[in-house]
Amino acid sequence: MSTRPQRLFPLFAEVDTLPGVGPKSKKALAGMGISRVRDMLYTLPHGVVDRRRRDTVQGVAPGTMVTVEVTVKRHRGSSRPGGPYRVEVEDAQIDFTLMFFRGGGKWLEQQLPTGQRRVISGKLEHFDGMAQIVHPDYILRPDEAGEIPEFEPIYPLTAGVTQRVMGKAAEAALARAPALDEWMDGTLVAQEGWPAWKDAMEAAHRPKGAAEVSETAPARRRLAYDELFAHQLTLALARAGRQAKPGIASVGDGRLQRAVLDELPYTPTGAQTRAVSEIAGDMAAPRRMNRLLQGDVGAGKTLVALMALLIAVEAGGQGVLMAPTEILARQHFGALAPLAEAAGLRVELLTGRDKGADRAAKLAAIAEGDVHILVGTHAVFQDEVQFGDLRLTVIDEQHRFGVNERARLGAKGAAVDVLVMSATPIPRSLSLTQYGDMEISVLDEKPPGRTPVTTAMVSAERMDAVVERLRAAVAEGRQCYWVCPLVEESEITAATAAEERFKRLRAALGEGRVGLVHGQLRPDEKDAAMARFVAGETGVLVATTVIEVGVDVPNASIMVIEQAERFGLAQLHQLRGRVGRGAVESTCILMYQPPLGETARTRLTTLRETEDGFRIAEVDLEMRGAGDVLGTAQSGLPKFRIADVERMGALAELAQSDARTLLELDPALEGKRGTAARGLLWLTEQDRAIRLLSVG
């Protein structure tokens, strides 16, 4: 069933088929993401106004919405044009005034004829001790008063769309909503006390008080769960599709792993050992591995990646490790090569800079299977790079690579296992939504020998004192990073700022003591500056954020971040992770431009108080929201209309296990619940999932 079920057709009609929506409001609604009837249905009210009838406004607090029946006593127009027009009325107990600042007396006399009764609804205010309502929302004859809802939903608005238009359109959309078969697990529905889908929609659009517009209201939670469940079902289908494709069982015998571990001056942490065993289990299975290795700054992901690559080689195959930049690829190569070579393996580095005969020789050795482990940049994507028997691809800094590039690399091996590494801790709720199709291993311990980093907040007014501190540190043979601020979004202006700071520090600390790295330099200039710093020839490295990820210089023990208030929390945490990699006590100086705003202060104090990347990620999520934390453009996050990923982590977790269970019981979604779930996929526009089903 790869066509949309007929009963959903009315919901996919254009929004201007709803009463009250003309060409102008259609255009305005499109700006709110409302182009069809279903969009209107999934745009829930965020507030509710109590318009229940009362006998009198006597004793009612100012600012309250009141609905009351009155007798019109007299009209008092203004002596000057455009002045206020008053209509005096009385309810069951007191007299009060209706005020109008526009609309002529003639029209008001027709609306409110003297001596007649009318039902009025609007906000009560007090002026000079007198009760008044300015421009009532409703003026109706008593026999028409049924038009005023007891509880009026308040919808989000945009220029050119009124509450009346939204309310009327939403009611009409509700009238078109069909009763749908239940796609939810019956036990869950009973346990949570959730209404059926159509009843939930009606309850959400016709709230009977403030409690019913909160996200904890049963109807809202049910509708939020539907969105999360549909998304998790899509991810579970993608995962099942991958697992259905045969993989190659790569079973290691442990000899190379033991040889490498014997070379190490330390013992792996419990988290590293656990991750290696999870990966080994996946690789030994006859289906493709698709695992995310998430670790905080300095949690030792590289060692886990090396162990996984060694399993591929032990099983008679090859492994490749890809990094997003040449600096990182070279660093990985520098870290892996000595250990792998100690185990008798051949490791090569392939970047865009390899040319001519050298490159041809490397490519031939890779194709022959003589190269056991290849480290490279996206240069390994090129078609001319062919492997003898590729078993495992490790991708570092997952978010820098698109899904398509991952797929192309997957095609390099017949059934290659994929391990993706991320140094950016992601809160559990987000990793479920973002990587729900993958298995996840988390490194939540730091290897021994890493010293805690002291973090200090320093005002930019004390810049000279900071420079003096660097001078003393460099004189003792220590090394420092100085990260320049993010300037607008332009790499060129950032480069200019970095060059200015470089000149000033060089003048203060002496020629040859200061290096410079920024995005506008040629790759060879960048590498040369990095190499001098790694070799200890320069004491201070001035840089833009190019050093954010992965650069490893154990002797660097001071990190200065200029205008730290301009950076995001996750980025500050990544930068701080560049120091504290050796045994020397390390410091991170967050230099800020006073006065600090509330948000910036929260960011910097959070960083000062904790080194736990997962805790920092949770705060970051609370402050910025999901799209910004993952980088909206490439986050691939679904646009939920009701579910709030930040606050519904437990619900997302429930949805993931529910979706996976349903697919295990009914892989083709052909049973009663499965068929209903297909309807949900259409309803929530998870077309990718529908395609996965029809291909399967």
Domain assignment present for 508: yes
**Per-residue pLDDT reduced to its tens digit, 311-341:** 999 999 999 999 887 878 888 898 899 999 8
The C-alpha torsion from 376 through 379 and 384 to 387, rounded to 10°, is: 20
**Per-residue pLDDT reduced to its tens digit, 552-580:** 788 889 999 999 988 888 788 888 888 88
517 closest CA partner among 494, 486, 488, 550: 494
**pLDDT value at residue 365:** 94
CA distance 668 to 696: 8
273 closest CA partner among 574, 449, 264, 550: 264
**Per-residue pLDDT reduced to its tens digit, 428-485:** 666 676 666 678 888 888 777 677 899 999 999 999 999 999 999 998 889 999 998 7
CATH number at residue 264: 3.40.50.300
Percent of the residues in the chain that have a pLDDT greater than 70, as a whole number: 89
Domain assignment present for 619: no
Residue with tokens 């690399």: 409
pLDDT of 674 > 90? The answer is: yes
Among 424, 443, 462, residue at a domain's last position: 443
Q: Name every residue whose Cβ is closer than 8 Å to that of residue 2 and which is 6 or more positions away in sequence.
A: 690, 691, 693, 694
3-state secondary structure of 521: coil
**pLDDT value at residue 635:** 40
The b/e string for 132-156 (b: 16+ C-beta within 10 A; e otherwise) is bbeebbbbbeeeebeebbebbbebe
Do both 289 and 357 map to the same domain? yes
The distance between the two most distant Cα atoms of the chain, rounded to a whole number of Å, is 104
Do both 71 and 105 map to the same domain? yes
3-state secondary structure 104-156: CHHHHHHHCCCCCEEEEEEEEEEECCEEEEECCCEEECHHHHHHCCCEEEECC
CA distance 696 to 240: 10
What order do you get walking across the sheet with 373-376 strand by strand? Answer: 347-350, 373-376, 318-322, 390-396, 417-422, 290-295, 439-443
Least confident of 302-306, 346-350, 548-552: 548-552
Pairing of β 290-295 and β 439-443: parallel
**Per-residue pLDDT reduced to its tens digit, 410-431:** 555 557 898 988 877 776 666 6
Domain assignment present for 238: no
Pairing of β 318-322 and β 390-396: parallel
Domain assignment present for 520: yes
Q: Please give the sequence-ordered ranges of beta strands (E in DSSP) within 226-317, or none if there are none.
A: 290-295
- Tokens matching residue 418: 């994929």
**Per-residue pLDDT reduced to its tens digit, 201-260:** 999 999 988 888 888 899 999 999 999 999 889 888 887 777 777 788 899 999 999 999
Q: DSSP assignment of 486-500, as one string?
A: P-TT-HHHHHHHHHH
**pLDDT value at residue 468:** 92
Q: Residue 461 carries which DSSP code?
A: G
16 closest CA partner among 32, 35, 31, 33: 35
The C-alpha torsion from 469 through 470 and 476 to 477, rounded to 10°, is: 160
Do both 507 and 423 map to the same domain? no
pLDDT of 486 > 70? The answer is: no
Do both 483 and 592 map to the same domain? yes
**pLDDT value at residue 493:** 67
Q: Which CB contacts under 8 angstroms, 24+ apart, belong to 122-129? A: 122/65, 122/66, 123/63, 123/64, 123/65, 123/66, 124/57, 124/60, 124/61, 124/62, 124/63, 124/64, 124/65, 124/66, 125/62, 125/63, 126/62
Domain assignment present for 303: yes
Give the chain's domain count. Answer: 3
Domain assignment present for 110: yes
Do both 432 and 458 map to the same domain? no
Domain assignment present for 589: yes
**Per-residue pLDDT reduced to its tens digit, 368-426:** 999 999 999 877 777 788 899 999 999 886 555 544 555 555 555 557 898 988 877 77
**Per-residue pLDDT reduced to its tens digit, 270-291:** 999 999 999 999 999 988 888 8
**pLDDT value at residue 378:** 78
**Per-residue pLDDT reduced to its tens digit, 31-57:** 888 999 999 999 999 999 889 999 899
Do both 407 and 271 map to the same domain? yes
Do both 434 and 495 map to the same domain? no
Among 591, 610, 629, residue at a domain's last position: 610
Do both 426 and 459 map to the same domain? no
What band does 128 get if pLDDT is binned at 50, 70 and 90? confident
Do both 461 and 418 map to the same domain? no
**Per-residue pLDDT reduced to its tens digit, 172-194:** 999 999 999 999 999 999 999 99
Q: Residue 287 carries which DSSP code?
A: B
Q: Which domain holds residue 475?
A: 453-610
CA distance 359 to 252: 30
CATH number at residue 77: 2.40.50.140
pLDDT of 614 > 80? The answer is: no
SS3 content of the chain, % helix, strand, coil (to 5): 45, 20, 35
Q: Residue 14 carries which DSSP code?
A: B
pLDDT of 488 > 60? The answer is: no
Q: Please give the sequence-ordered ranges of beta strands (E in DSSP) within 453-525, or none if there are none.
A: 453-459, 479-483, 514-517
User: Which position has the higher pLDDT, 493 or 442?
Assistant: 442
Among 558, 582, 610, residue at a domain's last position: 610
Rg over CA atoms, the chain: 32
Helix 255-263 vs helix 326-342: angle between axes, to the nearest 10 degrees? 100
The number of helices, as runs of H, and strands, as runs of E, in the chain is 25, 22
pLDDT of 89 > 90? The answer is: yes
- Tokens matching residue 279: 């990966």
Do both 385 and 432 map to the same domain? yes
**pLDDT value at residue 428:** 66
pLDDT of 170 > 90? The answer is: yes
Work out the average pLDDT over 60-83.
86
Do both 533 and 430 map to the same domain? no
539 with 478: CB under 8 angstroms? Answer: yes
Do both 520 and 386 map to the same domain? no
Cα 102 → chain centroid? 47
13 closest CA partner among 177, 168, 163: 177
Element (H, E) at 443: strand 439-443
Please state, rounded to an integer, the average pLDDT across all residues of the chain.
85
Domain assignment present for 569: yes
